[in-house]
Amino acid sequence: MYYSIYETSQSETIIELFTQTFSDSEGQNEGKVIGQLVSELLASTKNEDLFTFVARDENEIVGSILFTRLTFESDKTAFLLAPVAVSTKSQGKGIGQALIKTGLDTLKQHGVDLVFTYGDPSFYTKIGFERITEQEFKAPLPLSYPHGWMAQSLTEQPLAAIAGSSSCVEAFNKPELW
């Protein structure tokens, strides 16, 4: 398996991967929503606000993750890990965890302090994320699944609450995604 930062020529393949993977697990409507989100993120997010990674098995892309800037009223540099997709036939092989580790290592090398995610705690706590509350770290929009709000420090410092609001990139600034 080969893990790397994506190339713009891979955009359509990545969009198809997210659409199919989420359609397989959550239904076609969710697949379309997530495929559209990834399309918007890749097309409209500034380069300095986006990191995208892929997992390739030979020449086939079997996984992808995106990290987008999350801004707090603080001097901390933060990114949001979402969404994550591993093709249905390639799941259960550790590809998602390895892909996320590659992304986190790269973000750490770029001086990022904190990474947040919003998903299944049973998965994300395995790779170092801690459950947090909106009182500690305000999400950009109200959370429909508050126990899925998690963070990880990429520095030697433990997680410490940040007062004030936060904001996300435009493609994520939609209540239905939170």
**What is the CATH classification number for the domain harbouring 168?**
3.40.630.30
> How many folded domains does the chain comprise?
1
Q: How many CB atoms lie within 10 A of CB 143?
A: 15
pLDDT in tens, 58-109: 889 999 999 999 999 999 999 999 999 999 999 999 999 999 999 999 999 9
CA 52/CA 50 separation, integer angstroms: 7
CA 133/CA 120 separation, integer angstroms: 15
Dmax over CA atoms of the chain, in Å, equals 45
CA 114/CA 56 separation, integer angstroms: 27
83 lies in which domain range? 2-177
pTM over 0.75: yes
